[in-house]
Structure 1
Amino acid sequence: MIEPEPVPGPHGPSFSGRVGWGARPAVVVIDLVRAYTEPDGPFGLPSPGPAVAATEALIGAARSSGHPVVWTVVRYAPDLADGGLFVRKVPALAAFAGGAPGGWGELTLPPAPGEPVVVKQYASAFFGTSLAPTLHAAGVDTVVFAGVSTSGCVRATAMDALNSGFRPQVVRDACADRTPEVHDSNLADLDAKYADVVDLAEALAHLR
């Protein structure tokens, strides 16, 4: 087996190699719902507008080139019985329970007809869901990530993408978190060990 060459970077030669792009990318939009993008939402972000606009650009490029677009949302039973200890650790997740007021689990951007919406209960969109089989069936080898939050569901999903044999590409401009510091530090760590963190322009060039 040929080991990949380490790429010198801010983390030293032991980290920050590149997984690169394969032949068949898909865009996965993680939990971009009203709970995060509305200012009074339970997970309201300080300035989600740029990430939403960047996500729209990624989706448009993928659709125009015939690449898959997959969405994820968090949903729970009305009594949160399927939320395990996660809903105990993060009580605000109750906003995603069936019948909860506010419509906070509604997607901020509309999926096109036929685009899968994967329902999950935990941070990683791969854990206990159909995401990996859906991507494999479409012949996908590279997953382009957008959505929220960088330190939570984006990070967990990107790590599991690598674990599942996909090439994870996290688009810096298309993700957001509760502070710029949390966003940047998690992107730096993802780029060092688990994914390639790329700018919007690079992602668009590959998708087109």
Structure 2
Amino acid sequence: MSVHGADVQQDYAASGFGGSLPWGRRPALLLVDWAAGYFTDGSPLRAPVESCRDVARSLAEQARRQGIPLVFTRVEYPLDKEAEPARLFRRKIAGLACWEAGNPLGEFTPDLAPQDGDIVVTKQFPSAFFGTDLAEQLRARGIDTILVTGLTTSGCVRASALDALCHGFAPLVVRDACGDREAAIHEANLFDLQAKYADVITAAQAKDYLASLT
């Protein structure tokens, strides 16, 4: 059964899923793990996500023009994978070796990288919030809403959106500025996020929302 089938949509709606969140006046743009490992041939994490990177870059450009805070996340692990908290996560996914310290696959791509004044969060787990001070940094800036972009939809995007909600920020997941290894996995996770944890919106809606704040 397709997650987009009318019967599934109606069943979820009848059970009270999929309500709307308040879109605040103080958003931040979250850019999750736009790392070279997703775009480099031969990388174990290579995925067909070039188009969503272009969309995220366009959103970042608009956010910069408007003075909206940008938050970039990255992952970095020590070379000794048994000596740090994420050892079980790394054991589960061997491809996370891409994020070991010094590996160029863990670097930002030049066309979508932090600039002076941006918030940069280094994490070891899927969520941008877990084990970091991101929530405190956002509260200090009065942020109430987070536009979520990044990689991958089923992993770090989903985890970050869920934790944003748990920390009291309204997560708006920008569907065409996120990507995954398979389109069906991407869509299934967006369906579930919209049903339970976030508002899933298009880049056009995100840009109109940002423009409305001026």
TM above 0.5, yes or no, is yes
Write out per-residue CA displacement over residues 78-128 of structure 1, whole angstroms, 9 at most, x where no aligned residue: 21222221000011111211134xx00111212121212100000111000
1:43-100 deviations in Å (ceiling 9; x for gaps): 1112x12101110111011111111001000101121222221000011111211134
- Residue among 177, 185, 189 paired with 1:186: 189
Find the counterpart in structure 2 of residue 5 from structure 1. Answer: none
Gaps of 5+ in 1: 1-8
Looking at structure 2, the residues matched to 162 and 135 of structure 1 have their Cα atoms a distance apart, in angstroms, of 13
- Among 193, 200, 208, which residue is 1:197 paired with? 200
- Residue 4 of structure 1 corresponds to none
Q: Which residue of 1 aligns with 2:98?
A: 95
- Determine the structure 2 residue equivalent to 1:145: 148
SS in 2 for 1:172: strand
Cα distance between partner residues in 2 of 1:125 and 1:60: 21
Q: Which amino acid aligns with 1:200?
A: A
In the aligned structure 1, how far is the partner of 2:34 from the partner of 2:134?
16
The yes-or-no answer on 1:85 pairing with 2:96 is no
2:13 match: secondary structure: coil
Tell me the distance in 1 between the aligned counterparts of 2:127 and 2:105.
19
SS in 1 for 2:87: coil
Q: Which amino acid letter does the alignment assign opposite residue 139 of structure 1? A: G
Distance (Å, rounded) in 1 between the aligned partners of 2:102 and 2:32: 22
- Mapped partners of 2:125, 2:97: distance in 1: 13
Conservation of the 8 A alpha-carbon contact between 1:20 and 1:196: no
Letter paired with 1:193: K
How many aligned residue pairs are there? 197
Contact 2:27/2:146 (8 A) holds in 1 = yes
Aligned to 1:161: 164
Bigger fraction of residues in helix: 2
1:33 paired residue number: 35
Matched, 1:51 2:23: no
Residue identity (%): 45
Deviation at 1:148, TM superposition (A): 0.2
What SS does structure 1 have at the residue aligned with 2:106? Answer: coil
Residue in structure 1 matching 2:24, options 22, 25, 49: 22
Partner amino acid, structure 1, of 2:31: V
Amino acid at match of 1:42: P
What is the one-letter code of the residue matched to 2:37? A
Aligned position for 1:105: 106
Please tell me the root mean square deviation across aligned C-alpha atoms, in Å: 1.1
The code of the aligned residue for 1:129 comes to T
Long gaps (5+) in structure 2: 1-8
Q: Report if the CA contact (8 A) 1:39-1:45 is conserved.
A: no
Q: Is the 8 A contact 1:71 1:117 kept in 2?
A: yes
- Do 2:75 and 2:122's aligned partners in 1 also have CA atoms closer than 8 Å? yes
Residue equivalent to 2:5 = none
Distance 2:55 2:136 in 1: 27
Secondary structure of 1:173's partner? strand
Q: Deviations over 1:109-156 (max 9, x none)?
A: 121212121000001110000111111111110000110000000000
- Segment of structure 1 superposing worse, 162-171 or 110-119: 110-119
Supply the distance in 2 between the matched residues of 1:160 and 1:42 (Cα, whole angstroms). 27
